Structure 1
Amino acid sequence: MHTLFAQQRLSQYAEAREYVELGARLVTVQRLTGLRPPDLHRWFFRDPRQAQFGRPPNAVQWYTLANLLQRVDACLFAAPFQRLITRGFAPKAALLNAYRGYLELGLCQPRVDFDRAVDLAGHIAGLWLTHTAHLIVLTCPLCACDTLSTQGLKTPLDCPFCQLQSRYPRDKRVRVHFPTPVPRQLAMPRLGISAFCPGLSQPTSTPPSFSRRAQR
């Protein structure tokens, strides 16, 4: 079909738009979509100041030297990504869904931006930036949390979630990043006729009286 090339290019632009909306840099969008930098500048980075430049992230070095909150955030993204890949999701779909789920956690200051997430996912699945998987998601035998570790290990070393539990009572930064959830007040279920007549379940200032004396 004569429109095949146009359809492929439009799907590339639609894919690039999703990455840009999540804060991806130009080099990251280029690697994921295959679009040329001039095309990306024309459609998404018309202001040169919006196109961030610099060295691409290196997940292996970064995760080894990262602090506790950064490693915990990396695991919160990496574990759903690995789970989606195992269930047969396409790598890019798993990347987008895992990162959006990470953002929906509502952390006060997320430590993993989209470029870092792409780098982590690439080193887990052996895609995009590398042809070999260097990281793996393992389950900690002590806390049963999924945590990142170096490829080749059977049990994770220095589980960040175990460290998080021990530091939570005495580290204010950890408590600010992961605040204690406020218990929700569950609404009473509507039973009987009140389920079909919502007005009957609303309390009034003066409850009705059905005695004959009150009706006189």
Structure 2
Amino acid sequence: MADLSAFPITNQYPTKDPSVLQLYSNPTPNGVKVAIALEELGLPYEAHFVDIMQNQTWTADYLSLNPNGKIPAILDPDGPGGKPFALWESGAILVYLADKAGKLIPADPAGRYETLQWVFWQMAALGPMTGQLGFFHKFAGKEIEDKRPRDRFATEVKRLLGVLEGRLADRPFIMGDDFTIADIALIGWVRAIPAFYAAGELVDWGSLKVVPEWVARCEARPAVARGLTIPAKS
């Protein structure tokens, strides 16, 4: 059995089974990615709820795992070379898990890189823009009288949804018939726009046809439905 005692994060979140992968997360649009992937892949893991509202990502123990102080992060007792391995940044974790299990990403190089471009598109574009829209529309930014910041991000999210609408026009999932880490990277953020952020009207969600259908298709997958609620708050 792997010895994880060298990782300070295990002081903050004691491990029940050190032989399985450890997930440190919160079911936010960004955090659910790894839980969904783990559920889809069927990899054994232990989930730890990180309370971001209580600044638990800024403790010394958590920062030893992720110096950027964000969720999600993982600790794999059976990493490269059979040694414990810590990893953060959700996109990197998705690629790591897909490679580890040999699923959720095409084996052929062209398909692999095409999948990765959509994962990176979420990381660089749709995720950050949606998060900013949410801040200025729903959270503290809504108190700002000048609505130009909100409208700037709403316009960009609307454009990005148009890109996604075009991609999904002739296929059930981002890469075609197969559900991949590209879908996993995007689903949490896209579904949050009309629901969690209540910003559907701002981005003209009602004009979309295939994106809402894709959201429903993803949500209907049992592993996705489970992953969207993991980790549960203890």
TM value normalised by structure 2: 0.23
Larger radius of gyration: 1
TM value normalised by structure 1: 0.24
